[in-house]
Structure 1
Amino acid sequence: METKKTDKDVLTKGLKKMGISLALMFLGPSFIYIAFSNQEKPLYIPLLIIGIVACISAIYFAFIGLNTILDSMFKSNKSN
């Protein structure tokens, strides 16, 4: 029986996606806070939209990154 090994290339891709997610996890709430702090300014709506999109993107990249990392560890390579 062959032991399963971690696919390093796929693991690297997953870690990059998690890094993007981590950056967006800080940027999204920061933009939302800045938007709500300056409600009378003309950039209120664009900053709020950017913050909400960044938060949703952080969740998406975290999900895809975790899926990719788990695939690198547990998915069997059928290239025999």
Structure 2
Amino acid sequence: MKHTNKTVLMKGIKLLAAALPLSFIGPVVLFSSFKNQEHSWFIPVLIFALLAMAGAIYLMFKGINTVIKALFD
């Protein structure tokens, strides 16, 4: 009977924990940037928001894959 690899599981949980703040920061900053389209910092803030959301998606994907590997490999 195989057991859960605890070190790999903790790595996956850390990745998911890193994705959590990005999943909230990205949409909030995106909404804020669209509310201030006439401001000169619109494009940099928009790019930051899109990168934060893309980073959250990537970290969630890697975290879930790592947790699945820890449980089933």
Query: Structure 2 length as normaliser, TM-score?
Result: 0.95
Amino acid at match of 2:71: M
Aligned ranges 1:1-80 → 2 under 5 Å = 3-75=1-73
**CA shift digits 1:45-74 (9 cap, x unpaired):** 001000011111111111100000011111
**Alignment partners' CA distance in 2, 1:6 and 1:73:** 5
Q: In structure 2, list runs of 5 or more residues that go unmatched.
A: none
Greater fraction helix: 2
Structure 2 counterpart SS, 1:16: helix
Shift of 1:34: 1.0
Runs (4 or more) in structure 1 with deviation over 6 Å come to: none
Choose 1 or 2 for highest CA Rg. Answer: 1
| CA RMSD, Structure 1 to Structure 2 (Å) | 0.7
Q: In structure 1, list runs of 5 or more residues that go unmatched.
A: 76-80
**Alignment partners' CA distance in 2, 1:13 and 1:23:** 17
Higher RCO (CA < 8 A, seq sep 6+) = 2
